[in-house]
Every structure is written in structure tokens, then in C-alpha cells.
Amino acid sequence: MTSGVFVLLGPLIAVATTIIVLMMTVAIHRRPRLTAVLTLAGLGIAFLLLFWTTTLDSRRVTALLVIDDYARFYTGLILAATAAVTLLSVGYLERLSEQRDEYYMLLLLGALGSIVLVSAVHFMSLFLGLELLSVSLYALIAYPRSRQQSIEAGLKYLVLAAASAAFLLFGMALVYAEVGSMAFSQVVAPVAPGARLAWLVGIGLIVVGFGFKLALVPFHLWTPDVYEGAPAPTTAFVATVSKGAMLAVLLRLFSEVDGRGHHALFLGFTVLATASMVGGNFLALLQRNVKRLLAYSSIAHLGYLLVAFLASGALAETAIAFYLVAYFVTMIGAFGVVAVLSTGEHDADSLDDYRGLAVRRPWLSAVFTAMLLSLAGIPLTAGFVGKFFLTVAGGGAALWPLLAVMMVTSGIGLFYYLRVIVAMYMQPVSESTAAAGTARVPLVAGLTLAALTILLVWLGVYPGPLIAFIRSAVSGGA
């Protein structure tokens, strides 16, 4: 371990150290706002150290991790998203009767696991990062102990996450038995003809494990219940950081496998992509709960991302990275509005909670409208540019049937996004929600939502600098 290695591991070390500092601080004196400030300071230091690592060449750190431009980009995205979720959590947690300090430790632990995932080049580091992330999510989802719905959501995620980990482990074991290595680069090592079936079964089980974590149809059944039961900031974290990290490591792993060269594997991902786009959008049509609607919407968006994943190549990697940035900004902003409107007793997740929001909170309705239009892929938003790049990547690989499904289902998705917008602008305020218009919006949360909205529009109008940065950082890294 040289000094250069410690510099490369700086962001990981900073996040881990911050967790220890928070534990010691809370043991001495509980001050939730101080804990939040220390959390943001630790994330800021990790982000600065990330820039320091760019002065060094990409390097493999032991056999488990590699710190290259690909890992740096997704690490920066995870750190920024975690900071935004932290800022939105401060005001939300103040309305709860729970102890709030441990929440920030769990949030950092989830970020640490996600960073390990995006740097992983070995099945062991993949599993370690996944368990760090999953264990923190169990507690984050069930954090409001006074809410039965949150406890139920946490238990459901615990059971299904354990099942997905079992699929992953068994698949890894089968692949290891055939190739004799757990490194990603050896996954496609020569396999004896008679053992080829066992290798394919192993890869298939790994895909099933990833399908659970990414909530792809038909492994999506946990998603609406967990999204609905979890606190709104936690739901934003699950929808963005958790899924983004899993998709990043999936890209790195299957760039070694060459999915397009294996017909069965390519067909399997095609079925998952089609089912997720169709199932996510059609199931969202039936929802009157906003958090469940966004849950099914996220399933559809992961299906869109799989179109570029199947296309492969430098253009596809750029498209996926840009779409993930747009998706992170949009989902954090959407659930941020839910968090701001929520009370200590329950989240603002019913469609009735948004009736007449334009009258009660004009600027909040404008923010939520921008986020919903971005999810729908309307021009002048980051979501539109992201879908354009996904379409170009899919067209370059001649994935015309998948692109046709993507276009049709995107049109269907526009209906349920517009239904929420109509409720905000064209439906009268109900008596049960009229009092919500007098609640104060926390300054920190308001500034965070404003920044996310500006970024959303800026990426939709002038995406060039970010695209150029992504091309230099991500293309060829996976």
C-alpha cells in the first residue's frame, strides 16, 4: 500500500471516517443539526479528494477495486446525490418524533457501499458493497418506528433483498466453479463444452439478483410497497443512489461478458427491458398514490436504460451516464417535493394531497411540474435529452423493436404524469389538504429544490459540457 493508493482511496476513507466521527459525536452529545452538518462536511471532503485522485493514473487497488475515470464519475454522482438527500432530510426529520442522528450514519453507510460497488472488479467486492448498501437500506426504510407502514416496508425489503443476495451468491459460485476466478475479467475465461450450461445458469442467477435490486419486471413486486412505506428522502435515495450503483457495476461486469455475443443472455435482457417498460408504465396508470406512481415510473425508466445497455459501445455508455444524471436530479427533486409537503404523521403521497397545489404553493407546484415533465421526456428538460441519447444509442445498434416499445410506452407514461399536473393546477383544493398550504417550507430544502430545478432545465437547454465530460470520463471505462 503506497501513498498513491491511499490518495486513490481518499473518498472511501473520508466517508468511512465521517461515519466514525458521527458515532463518537452522537455518543457524547446528540445534536441532529450538527450531525447533518458533519455529514455534509464529510461528503464535501470526499468530493474534494475525488478531484485529487484525478492527478494520479487509474490503478487497481488489490484484486478487488479499481479507481479509474469510470469509478470517479459514478462516485462523484453518488456523493452529490447523497448530499442532496441529506439536505432534504433535515427539515423532514425535524417533523418526526424519532432520534434523527443515526439516520445520517445509515445514509453515509449506504453511500459507502455504493462507492464500493462502482469501483468493484471482483465478485467479493461486489458482494461486500452490496451488503453495506442493503444493510443500511433495511434500517433507513423502516426508520420511522411509529409508522406501521414503514416497518412493513422494511421487512419486505429485508426478505426480498436476502433472496436476491442468495441468487447472486449461487450464481457467483457456479461461475467460479467453471472459470476458477472471481474477477470480472475472468468471467468469460474458456469453459469446457460440457460445463457451458452451468456457466450460463450461473450468469442467469446473477442477472436475477441484479433484477431484484434494479426492480426490473418480474422482480419488481417489492418496489411500490417499499417506496410507499419508506420516508420520502429514503425513497429518493433508494430510487437513485441504490439503483445507480447497481447499474454501474452491472455495466462494468457485462462489458467483460459481451452480452451481445451470447444469444441467450441478450434475449434475457431484451425480455427484461420490454417487460419493465410495458409493465412499469401500465401499472402506473392505475395509481392514485404519488409515491407508488413514481415507483412504477422508476421501473419503466430502468427498462429504458436497458435499451442502451443492450446497444453497448461508447455512445451507449455516454447515453446511460447522462440519463442517470438526469434521472438522479429528477427523482431527488420529485421526492423532495413529497418530503417538503409531508407531515410528521404521514407522507404527502395521495393524489388528493396535490389538488390545488398551484394555489397553495405556486413555486412548489412549478418544481414538481418540471420534474414530472422531465420524467415524461418533454423538451427543454434533462429527461428529453437523456431519452434522445438512449434512442440514438439504440438506433445505432439497430434495436428497432425495443425502440418502438420505448416510444409507445413513453407516450403512455405522459398520461399519468399529466394527471398529477392536472390535479395541481385544475382541481379545487380539498378541505383535508387546505391546511397544508400554511406549513413552512424549510429554507435548506427550498434552496435544494430550486438548485435541482435550475440544473434540470440547464441540462435540458445546454447539455454540451456535461456530455463532453462524460465522454472523456465514462466511455471505454466500463
For 87-122, write each residue's pLDDT tens digit. Answer: 999 988 888 777 788 899 999 999 999 999 999 999
> Between 56 and 261, whose confidence is greater?
56
Q: Give the per-residue pLDDT at 430.
A: 61
For 350-364, write each residue's pLDDT tens digit. Answer: 888 888 888 888 899
Instruction: For residue 262, name the pLDDT band (cuts at 50, 70, 90).
Output: confident
Q: Give the per-residue pLDDT at 433.
A: 58
For 311-329, write each residue's pLDDT tens digit. Answer: 888 888 999 999 999 999 9
pTM: 0.93
Encode the chain in three state secondary structure: CCHHHHHHCHHHHHHHHHHHHHHHHHHHCCCHHHHHHHHHHHHHHHHHHHHHHCCCCCEEECCCEEECHHHHHHHHHHHHHHHHHHHHHHHHHHCCCCCCHHHHHHHHHHHHHHHHHHHECEHHHHHHHHHHHHHHHHHHHCCCCCCHHHHHHHHHHHHHHHHHHHHHHHHHHHHHHHHCCCEHHHCCCCCCHHHHHHHHHHHHHHHHHHHHHHCCCCCCCHHHHHHHHCCHHHHHHHHHHHHHHHHHHHHHHHHHHCHHHCHHHHHHHHHHHHHHHHHHHHHHCCCCEHHHHHHHHHHHHHHHHHHHHHHCCHHHHHHHHHHHHHHHHHHHHHHHHHHHHCCCCCCCCEHHHHCCHHHHCHHHHHHHHHHHHHHHCCCCCHHHHHHHHHHHHHHHCCCHHHHHHHHHHHHHHHHHHHHHHHHHHHCCCCHHHHHHHHCCCCHHHHHHHHHHHHHHHHHHHCCHHHHHHHHHHCCCCC
